[in-house]
Structure 1
Amino acid sequence: MLEIINGVLLVYFLILCTISALVPQLVKPVAACFSRPSNNERNVWAELLKLKADQKKISMKDEFAQYSKLQRKINKLESQLKENSQDRLTKNVAVKGSVHIILQAVITLTIIVSMFLYRHEPLVLLKGNLFPLTRFLRFPCDIPNAVTTHVWVIISNVSIRTLLKPILS
């Protein structure tokens, strides 16, 4: 029923389509590398924890002035951490978006260039008469019942994305 003519290209396009479908999952670890807290943030966090521990040791009734002074320092450090967290979150979203766009563009460009280079190469020959689909499957190649790179990329993309959708969701 099926004769594989160019198995390397078949697998090559299958891998490219799989990577294209997995780009959102590949972006997450890359973006995580850029959004780690800085040493300054870690030091502020450690100081905040120390101040809170010191504040717990002080009685609010007996030493109200000292307790309030520590509370103001804690509030200041918390607001500083909140600002740093917002900056990091904004940076993380920008990095995720940029990396996603760049990866998707590189993969798409690779697929388009490869399809252009191998546009007349049949990947698979189907046995039998597929009359209504023959012209579509072999475009732009002239070999009857052939499946070319254009059709294979469409079939691979749709199939892989459909199969991976329940797993990745």
Structure 2
Amino acid sequence: MAAGYAWFLVLGSVLLCNLVKTLLPAISSFLSKVFQKDAEHEMEMRIEIQGMKQELSSISMMDEFARYARLERRINKTTDKLKTHVKSRTAQQAKIKWVVNIVYYVLQAALMISLIWKYYADPVTVLPSKWIAPLERLVAFPSGVAGGVGITTWLVVCNKVVAIGLQAVG
């Protein structure tokens, strides 16, 4: 594996995972819009409430109390219905965000485990032993090759470097 492309494969996988992680909020928002078609209904309710409030402001409370009270009750009822609707939509958005995050982390874990499984015995790259002398066995884990960098160490280093790089860019 040291002479091959595995270091690039691991780095690319880590970069892709971190890029997708930064896009999770946008993905959640998109899926919320796709699955929730109630935005038009909410907008209609808001417009209806505004119209009723304008009508209410044009009515004299002293002269037409019964009509004023009926309209006020209708406004309150529609407002309560809108609040309930918004609350349920918000709860559904939270569920969608949660599911998207869970799916992402499961897929990321599966990818990392498959990379570790495939390249368990081979070092990703081989460095001169002097460079990593005190930590040679730890860095070589799980391959055990002297001077080698194991897949787990390479994944940790790549994750950290990519996260710092993306944080600096974004």
- TM-score scaled by length of structure 2: 0.79
- Bigger shift: 157-166 or 144-153? 157-166
The two structures, once aligned, show a CA RMSD in angstroms of: 2.8
Q: Confirm whether residue 22 of structure 1 aligns to residue 22 of structure 2.
A: yes
2:136 aligns with 134
Unaligned runs of 5+ in 1: none
- Bigger shift: 18-27 or 50-59? 18-27
Letter in 1 for 2:100: V
Give the percent of matched residue pairs that are identical in Structure 1 and Structure 2: 23
Q: Confirm whether residue 112 of structure 1 aligns to residue 123 of structure 2.
A: no
Alignment of 1:5-154 (within 5 A): 6=5, 7-19=7-19, 21-22=21-22, 24-25=24-25, 27-33=27-33, 34-35=35-36, 37-129=38-130, 130-154=132-156
Higher relative contact order (CA 8 A, sep 6+): 1
Letter in 2 for 1:110: L
- TM-score scaled by length of structure 1: 0.79
Structure number with the higher strand fraction is: 1
Question: CA separation in 2, counterparts of 1:46 and 1:109?
Answer: 48
Query: Shift of residue 60 of structure 1?
Result: 2.0
Relative to structure 1, is the Cα distance of residues 112 and 20 closer, same or farther in structure 2, using a 3 angstrom cutoff?
farther
8 Å CA contact 2:116–2:151 kept in 1: the answer is: yes
8 Å CA contact 2:136–2:146 kept in 1: the answer is: yes
Question: CA separation in 2, counterparts of 1:134 and 1:13?
Answer: 25
Question: CA separation in 1, counterparts of 2:136 and 2:69?
Answer: 82
Letter in 1 for 2:11: V
8 Å CA contact 1:35–1:89 kept in 2: the answer is: no
Letter in 2 for 1:9: L
Letter in 1 for 2:151: T
Residue correspondences, number: 166
Unaligned runs of 5+ in 2: none
Relative to structure 1, is the Cα distance of residues 16 and 121 closer, same or farther in structure 2, using a 3 angstrom cutoff?
farther
